[in-house]
Amino acid sequence: MNAPFTLHRRIYADLEANILSGDWAPGQRIPFEHELTRRYGCSRMTVNKAISELADRGLVTRRRRAGTFVAQPRAQSAVLSIPDLKAEAEARGQTYGYELLTRRVREPVTDEEFDLASGGQVLELRCLHTADGMSLALERRVISLVVTPEAETADFETLPPGGWLLDFAPWTEAEHRISAVACGGADARRLALKPGAPCLLLERRTWRDGRPVTRVSQLFPGDRYDLVARFSPARGEGR
CA distance 221 to 14: 30
Q: Which fold has domain 75-228?
A: Chorismate lyase (3.40.1410)
Residue 2 has pLDDT above 90, yes or no: no
Q: Is residue 218 scored above 60 in pLDDT?
A: yes
What integer is the mean pLDDT of 155-168? 90
β-bridge partners, 76:
226
Average pLDDT over residues 131-150: 94
Q: What is the predicted pLDDT for the residue at 237?
A: 43
Residue 238 pLDDT class (50, 70, 90 cuts): very low
Q: For residues 139 and 33, what is the distance between their CA atoms, to the nearest angstrom? A: 40
* pLDDT tens profile 78-87: 555 667 788 8
Q: Where in the chain is the domain with CATH 3.40.1410.10?
A: 75-228
pLDDT bucket at 91, cuts 50 / 70 / 90: confident
Helix residue ranges, H only, the chain:
3-20, 33-40, 44-56, 85-91, 111-117, 161-168, 185-190
Torsion 38-39-44-48 (CA) sign: negative
d(CA 92, CA 132): 11
**pLDDT (average), residues 110-118:** 92
CATH no., domain 3-70: 1.10.10.10
> Is the pLDDT assigned to residue 225 strictly greater than 80?
no
d(CA 232, CA 54): 27
User: CA-CA distance, 218 to 203, in Å (whole number)?
Assistant: 6
DSSP letter, residue 57: T
Where along the chain do the CATH 1.10.10.10 domains lie?
3-70
Q: Is the entire prediction scored with pTM above 0.85?
A: no
Is the pLDDT at 3 greater than 60, yes or no? no
Q: Model confidence over 4-42: pLDDT tens digits?
A: 447 888 898 899 888 888 889 888 999 999 999 999 999
DSSP helix/strand/coil, 200: strand
